[in-house]
Structure 1
Amino acid sequence: MLEILTLNCWGLRPISKYRIERVNAIAIELLASRQYDLICLQEVWVREDFLRIYTRIKQNYPHSKFFITGALGSGLCIFSKHPILSTKTIPYHLSGRPLGFSDFFVNKAAGSVVIEHPELGQVEVFTTHMHAGGPEGYHIGNSYRSLQAWQLSNEIRRASSQGRYVIACGDFNFQSNELPYAVLRDHGLVKDAWICSRARNNRDVETADRVDRPCSSAMEALSEAGITVDSPLNSWTLTKNIPIEVQRTFGKRLDYIFFRDPSPPPRWPLTDRINPSLQCTSSEVVVTSHVPGKDYSYSDHFAVRASFSLSSSMPATSATTTELTNNNRYNGEISSPTLSDRSTSSNTPLSMFSGEKKRQMLNELRRVVEHHREVHVPHGRHLLIGVPVALVLLVAFTISTAFLPNHSYYSPIFAFFAGIAGFGGCVALVTGFVWARWEDGALRRSLEELAEETDHL
């Protein structure tokens, strides 16, 4: 029915080793592997790499989109077997700091395409690469990812409310026991394809993302835990300093495929039938071998594949209709999963029907945002101290050159340092004032949205 693949290609020009060779190998692998409906790639930073892949696979995937954001691009692209009706680039409001992390210059984002599927109709597919953990530390990175997950959840809700099936996949840079995952699950009301494909009933889905089953080998971690990065089976892991706790689990699961059905139409529950439910029938980690004839892997991430099918629709009963309507009305929209999910599907987490669980998530997200605003935003404003210091140094070096002998060797040195002082003052002003206020404004807007969402529960 529907086949999706997502892969982080690790295609950063100055850093990624054997980039061109690996990109060509990825294109050959995608062409030789099973026929997918959509291929979603991340970290394809160089447009020429996108064209290299497209040139090789365009016979099978004639429709494509390369998403552009920031100064260096988003690194996101999608290849589709089906016609693309529309596209949208969604830069995240917060994506690192000018002096703190390179994510600021690429402006992490989500990209979406709406395709026309012969059986599903319109399907909106999102690919994303969220804020990475870096020198800024876990807490600030987690707050960025949480707000990015909130923004993506709102986009998913919008797409679902327009009567579309929704797929969201990519490198999310969080694990399933972290807050951003809960934001997508409880606000975006998405289902995790990996979990759903292995669940036998609703309770399995509810607990699968909480229970860490110890794996005895790296191969078992791939097949049972869905490990996609920092696996000892990946050649590029050997070049990293992997924390002990990650080594114990044979890596991390950071790459996901989420999905959601269309929201019930405005006339529901007056109508007796609703859309059939999308079911994940299988999901696995793929592209795990080395490049043929080489001693390195295709990327520092493994790919994730998922297959979906439709369950048949069924009549709505008054009891379940009333329960869903009362428990899942957010912002005036009945955004619950379809009735067939509630009645017959093994793919629906029970958490989706708990308003209290969402309230807990919103409270935790509010605490994270408030902590970020109280602790980290003032750090940026401290850079404003550098403005008067730079101004004093600029004036001092400029005046000093007037008292130097003619043709003195010190004149160009003083002029150089005067230029450095002027440049430093400009950077301090832009970062400490403009960006600090920009970030604070985005955080305040997020707090307002969270308060409004809590009031509607």
Structure 2
Amino acid sequence: MHTTSEGEKPVFSACSQTRKLSNILACTLDLLPLGVRRAGRHPHLARAAVLGFVLGLILAVELGDRGGEEGWLGTPLLALLVIKQELVFSGMIGSGLCVFSKHPIQEIFQHVYSLNGYPYMFHHGDWFCGKSVGLLVLRLSGLVLNAYVTHLHAEYSRQKDIYFAHRVAQAWELAQFIHHTSKNADVVLLCGDLNMHPKDLGCCLLKEWTGLHDAFVETEDFKGSDDGCTMVPKNCYVSQQDLGPFPSGIRIDYVLYKAVSEFHVCCETLKTTTGCDPHSDKPFSDHEALMATLYVKHSPPQEDPCTACGPLERSDLISVLREARTELGLGIAKARWWAAFSGYVIVWGLSLLVLLCVLAAGEEAREVAIILCIPSVGLVLVAGAVYLFHKQEAKGLCRAQAEMLHVLTRETETQDRGSEPHLAYCLQQEGDRA
């Protein structure tokens, strides 16, 4: 984050009713994928720290391990640049959320998502990482900035996405988290790897419920990869399998923002990294970094009352909520099926154990029965763990679905009550203009 300044003071336009309070330079960086070897990590971190001092705020994900501050950057560098460094851990491995901030961080909070994939899909590893969202509260030129950094569950197959319901639930949980924690903020900034395409259900749900704007769509000046893609085939860490049916690249990393209260935010520039790190022959990551310049102004321009919070806007939210509830319903049915199946396995395993105990009481098949008891006990324990996990999964999906139903009911009632007066007002305004 960087403040437009004259002698370290914000610039005010005396001849305009709109005052330019500050500009925010934020960078989101998927810094250290698993494909980058450990030996190459420290230089990337050091340069990220330097960029944090220049830009003011870097929100990074997938920071793999922590060997102490000296193992990353060296204490002298941290002391020299006076950078606030925060690393958020969750799960068994850690979510890898990291922030480099030039300005003092007033508050910090982490929320781990209720659903994070499946523990038995160990080769994917998302459950062990414990995907989460980090919140940082900063004050700049009298503004309260809520900065969020997150990393959602990965999409490993576009055609057979077994994590789709989990990612929709995470998007809703993220939207709810932002909705309930940003009420005292003047500016809201969300950066990170959402692992969703711009038109995906989870991404639409997040933007519709929070009112966040996509910097790529809103920016006046974009420079970087074609269509703003953050995973491109020219990157040596990206394989064609990662891109799936999108050979030209995909856009799954975002800078989203909005203004609260009496402020207005616009994105002047947005850039993505292209090519390799100038100090080496390798790119920073398998994802291209995003850097956005956001201008914060006082007294936003007057909006047309026919478009502000109108029936069409509510209709989009209602449509997205209905589709999301349907997808969560499919996820609930799947989770309950697995819970029921594992329950049958538990009953079958216990019955087998009883039979083996009866055989062990006799003389003829005692040794065989004792040998078979060990795998039978293991089967019951594994089935029990699967049963408990999928029961919790179903509860988490049901909770998200119930929250959506509450919002959907409220929005539908509001739309029904306000559509007729709103339409009459718009028609009257059109008549006055004519």
The TM-score with structure 1 as length reference comes to 0.74
Q: Counterpart in 2 of 1:83?
A: 104
Q: Counterpart in 1 of 2:62?
A: 43
Tell whether the 8 Å contact from 1:22 to 1:298 is kept in structure 2 after alignment.
no
Q: Counterpart in 1 of 2:183?
A: 161
Residues 1:147 and 2:149 are matched in the alignment:
no
- The CA deviation at 1:244 is 5.9
- The CA deviation at 1:282 is 0.7
User: Structure 1's 46 and 396: CA in aligned 2 closer, same or farther, altered over 3 A?
Assistant: farther
Q: Counterpart in 1 of 2:389?
A: 435
- Distance in 2 between residues matched to 1:115 and 1:27, nearest whole Å: 22
- Distance in 1 between residues matched to 2:59 and 2:66, nearest whole Å: 15
- The CA deviation at 1:392 is 5.0
- Distance in 1 between residues matched to 2:25 and 2:263, nearest whole Å: 18
Q: Counterpart in 2 of 1:451?
A: 405
Tell me which of 251, 254, 257 is aligned to 2:255.
257
Q: Counterpart in 1 of 2:341?
A: 382
Q: Counterpart in 2 of 1:173?
A: 195
Q: After superposition, what is the alpha-carbon deviation per residue over 1:218-277, rounded to whole angstroms, capped at 9, x for unaligned?
A: xx9x43411111x22211124x53566311xx2111110111111x3xxxxxxxxxx221
Aligned partner of residue 229 in structure 2, secondary structure: coil
Residues 1:372 and 2:331 are matched in the alignment:
yes
Q: Counterpart in 2 of 1:185?
A: 207
Map residues 34-433 of structure 1 onto 2, 5 A cutoff: 35-48=54-67, 52-55=71-74, 58=78, 59-60=80-81, 62-100=83-121, 102-117=125-140, 119=141, 121-134=143-156, 138-198=160-220, 222-229=224-231, 231-238=232-239, 241-242=241-242, 245-247=245-247, 250-262=248-260, 264=261, 275-286=262-273, 288-290=275-277, 292-294=279-281, 296-313=282-299, 320=305, 324=308, 327=310, 354-392=313-351, 415=371, 418-432=373-387
Q: After superposition, what is the alpha-carbon deviation per residue over 1:349-394, rounded to whole angstroms, capped at 9, x for unaligned?
A: xxxx711111111111111111111234312431223223433555
User: Structure 1's 55 and 380: CA in aligned 2 closer, same or farther, altered over 3 A?
Assistant: farther
Tell whether the 8 Å contact from 1:50 to 1:77 is kept in structure 2 after alignment.
no
- Distance in 2 between residues matched to 1:199 and 1:17, nearest whole Å: 31
- Distance in 1 between residues matched to 2:340 and 2:246, nearest whole Å: 35
- Distance in 2 between residues matched to 1:228 and 1:311, nearest whole Å: 29
Q: After superposition, what is the alpha-carbon deviation per residue over 1:4-36, rounded to whole angstroms, capped at 9, x for unaligned?
A: 111112344xxx341x23321212432455812
Tell whether the 8 Å contact from 2:32 to 2:63 is kept in structure 1 after alignment.
yes
Q: Which runs of 5+ in 1 are unaligned?
A: 201-219, 265-274, 329-352
Tell whether the 8 Å contact from 2:230 to 2:250 is kept in structure 1 after alignment.
yes
Tell whether the 8 Å contact from 1:130 to 1:173 is kept in structure 2 after alignment.
yes
The percent of aligned pairs where both chains have the same amino acid is: 21
User: Structure 1's 199 and 327: CA in aligned 2 closer, same or farther, altered over 3 A?
Assistant: farther
Q: After superposition, what is the alpha-carbon deviation per residue over 1:69-112, rounded to whole angstroms, capped at 9, x for unaligned?
A: 12222111112111111111111121112324532222211111
- Distance in 2 between residues matched to 1:51 and 1:357, nearest whole Å: 50
Q: After superposition, what is the alpha-carbon deviation per residue over 1:112-157, rounded to whole angstroms, capped at 9, x for unaligned?
A: 111122x252211111110112379744322211111111111222
Tell whether the 8 Å contact from 1:98 to 1:431 is kept in structure 2 after alignment.
no
The TM-score with structure 2 as length reference comes to 0.78
Q: Aligned residue pairs: how many?
A: 383
Tell whether the 8 Å contact from 2:220 to 2:267 is kept in structure 1 after alignment.
no
User: Structure 1's 307 and 52: CA in aligned 2 closer, same or farther, altered over 3 A?
Assistant: farther
Q: After superposition, what is the alpha-carbon deviation per residue over 1:268-309, rounded to whole angstroms, capped at 9, x for unaligned?
A: xxxxxxx22121111111264147344x33221111111111
Aligned partner of residue 74 in structure 1, secondary structure: coil
Tell whether the 8 Å contact from 2:46 to 2:73 is kept in structure 1 after alignment.
no
Q: Which runs of 5+ in 2 are unaligned?
A: 1-22, 412-434
For 2:55, the aligned partner's letter is Y
User: Structure 1's 369 and 315: CA in aligned 2 closer, same or farther, altered over 3 A?
Assistant: closer
Q: Counterpart in 1 of 2:12?
A: none
For 1:361, the aligned partner's letter is V
Tell whether the 8 Å contact from 2:264 to 2:300 is kept in structure 1 after alignment.
no
- Distance in 2 between residues matched to 1:379 and 1:198, nearest whole Å: 49
User: Structure 1's 49 and 24: CA in aligned 2 closer, same or farther, altered over 3 A?
Assistant: farther
- Distance in 2 between residues matched to 1:315 and 1:178, nearest whole Å: 30
User: Structure 1's 199 and 362: CA in aligned 2 closer, same or farther, altered over 3 A?
Assistant: farther
- Distance in 2 between residues matched to 1:131 and 1:124, nearest whole Å: 23
Query: Could you tell which deviates more after superposition, 419-428 or 46-55?
Result: 46-55
- Distance in 2 between residues matched to 1:199 and 1:282, nearest whole Å: 5
For 2:386, the aligned partner's letter is T
Query: Could you tell which deviates more after superposition, 89-98 or 253-262?
Result: 89-98
For 1:196, the aligned partner's letter is E
